[in-house]
Amino acid sequence: MEMTANQHDLSREQLIHLIQEKDKFIADQQDKIQHQEQKIRDQEQQQLSLFDEAIPPTDPEKLLEAEESIQVSAHSRIKKPGRKPLPAHFPRIQKIYDLEDHEKVCHCGCQLTCIGADTYEQADIIPAKIYVIEHLKKKYACKACEETLKTATMPVQPIPRSIAGPGGESALIFLALAYACGSLNPLSY
């Protein structure tokens, strides 16, 4: 700020008043900056949350809604937030992943027993058809030592933890590219 000849002649009260006005202006500008920074952080968080398909909600209100108490005849449990199951009316194809025979033997020498399976559902599309693929990964445990637990692995998915299968993902990419190139009118479907 440049000092003019008239400002040299200002009284002490006038200088104090000018300084106070300048300080107020600076404080107002800092408040505006903080407000804008918070607005940007909120927008970034909103945009990032669009891609958090597999992550449970972090918003306290949503967590409280998801953790409502469910009464069962003998006890109560907390409902955990997560995905809703895929519609039951979709046809299902089961793909079973099992351990190799040599993997079904415990380190103590006993045969492992199948104790269940982890089920993972994925939506997939055959052109003009939607169906659900149920991936069953068999689990084995040793009845003798009760120490060993093994689960079969499944092939790597194109998009990990996504409910969309490879056919659905490729159909979506195809439609997006066709629309972007102008060869597809989305209103015609």
Total number of domains in the chain: 1
pLDDT in tens, the chain (189 residues): 455 555 566 788 888 988 999 999 999 999 999 999 998 888 877 776 666 555 556 666 666 665 555 555 666 666 666 777 788 888 888 999 999 999 999 989 899 999 998 888 888 776 667 778 888 999 999 988 888 999 999 888 888 888 888 877 787 787 777 777 766 555 554
Contact 132, 92 (CB under 8 A): yes
Does the residue 57 lie in any domain? no
C-alpha closest to that of 24 among 35, 16, 14: 16
In a domain, 146, yes or no: yes
Alpha helices in the chain (DSSP H): 5-8, 12-49, 60-66, 166-180
Q: Which of 78, 81, 62 is nearest to 70 (CA)?
A: 78
Q: Is residue 48, in this structure, part of any structural domain at all?
A: no
Give the domain range for residue 166: 88-184
- pTM (predicted TM-score): 0.35
Residue 26: inside a domain, yes or no? no
**Is 176 among the domain residues?**
yes
Structural domain contains residue 101: yes
- Computed on alpha carbons and rounded to an integer, the radius of gyration of the chain in Å comes to 31
Residue 97 lies in a domain: yes
DSSP-assigned letter for residue 124: E
Q: Which SS3 state, helix, strand or coil, does residue 187 take?
A: helix
CB–CB of 138/117 below 8 Å? yes
Residue 45 resides in a domain: no
